[in-house]
Amino acid sequence: MYDLVVVGAGPYGLSIASHAAAAGLRLRVLGRPMASWRDHMPRGMLLKSEPSASALSDPEGAHTLTAYCADRGVEAEHGRPLPLETFTEYGTWFGRHAAPPAEELTVTRIVPHPSGFRIGTAEGEQLTTRTVALAIGAPPFAHRPAPLRGLPRELVSHSSHHRDLSRFRGEDVTVIGAGQSALETAALLAEHGAEPRLVTRAPRLRWDAPPKPLERNRIATLFDPHSALGAGWPAWVWSRRPGAVRRLPPSVRLHLTQHAPGPAGAWWLRERFEPAVPTLLGHTITAADRTGGGLGRVGDGPGGGVRLWLKGSDGTARTLETGHVVAATGFVPDLFRLGLLDSTLRETLRRVGNSGAPWLGQDFESSHPGLFFAGLLAAPSFGPVMRFVHGAGITAPRLVAGVLRHVTARSAGVAQPARQQPARVGVPRAAAAEPVPREVRAGR
């Protein structure tokens, strides 16, 4: 019997494991270290977040990204983006030195048990634990616009599906979106010899300004404070006061989760993107189907290509043919994507408003005692910071404190309140967005 099983070994899972081990909890960590970053982000990507805002969390605060880079002679300065590979190596190093070893097991089943939970893996192991912390990362929640969902993955993919973009060399590729993922994917495609274009419903592209100096006068700091999510008071509140965000009405929190910070490209990407990628602004996809071959580099493979029907902001319609579509359209936190959760447990969990995201208490515990969530699934409860690595440092100590409270009460024989609301029957709108996978690989 374990006190805690952490499902996932990315920044959130490893941070939780580090704090839990220091607290003396008997735990297991299941998942491939930094899998989302290793397998679901393209080579050549740079971190948009500042190094100081990209650290994993250990109780002593000794294993930071800045310290890791300094020990290796790597420049990790304010305003200088770091390569994805540096961050991935740092996370792996953190897992070796600041957390219990992660086991590369695939969790396929989490079922309520009289003692807590029963967990099954694809490798055949069965284990029992008092509490579970789900920190599985964003890839299972990849969102594709409705008109694209009926097309096969060889024609329409999500930006999180690609590690190596060189496979598109010489191919006509249409990227959908207006955020950093869309803009950087398009720029990398061009740099790998593809012929990309960007289509977005936004009337214009937004670019972040270069970060302001850390040392500024008091008046500038007062009116425009610096934070992990950028400058300004809204970003400061989202990154520093997630407990205050949690007290906002559900509809406001859901809006913040979806729209704050708004889609924008990093300032250092603009000079790479604009000369290389043509853009079609103010256009929404209304329909899509596959085309046959014989179109040259557009749809010349055996599976053909894609025809997009677009509607402009002025009401005009047009069609566009392309060899492949990459939807860089974000992620939607949704319990109904978690096929590894027992269906009864999944359907009876209290949710935030009319979304598919779990309601969470102040210590990240769901309405089912002993079941905790971290990362993207916590964003509708605690705000936008949970979409970023910086949120791991907020989550880990609070979540582990909740686990300790639960385990102590269990050991003392004190019944834990269910904190349930009446179960909502049926699948919320967010749940209908994509098919539900049978299983989720831990750590992704």
Q: pLDDT per residue over 123-133, tens digit each?
A: 999 999 999 99
Residue segments in the chain with a per-residue pLDDT below the cut of 70: 293-303, 413-444
What's the rounded Cα separation, in Å, for the pair 384 and 376? 9
For residue 303, the model assigns a pLDDT of 62
Residue 246 and residue 380 in contact, taking contact as beta carbons nearer than 8 Å: no
Q: All domains of the chain, ordered by start, with CATH?
A: 2-141+331-432 (3.50.50.60), 146-207+264-327 (3.50.50.60)
CA distances (Å), 24 to each of 4, 21, 320, in order? Answer: 11, 5, 59
Q: What is the pLDDT of residues 145-156, one digit of tens each?
A: 999 999 999 999
For residue 293, the model assigns a pLDDT of 56
At 133, list the tokens.
């912390």
The predicted model scores a pTM of 0.89
Residue 200 and residue 186 in contact, taking contact as beta carbons nearer than 8 Å: no
- In b/e form, how buried is each residue of 62-78, taking b as 16+ CB within 10 angstroms? ebbbbebbeeeebebee
Side-chain-side CA neighbours of residue 440 (13 Å)? 28
Side-chain-side CA neighbours of residue 257 (13 Å)? 29
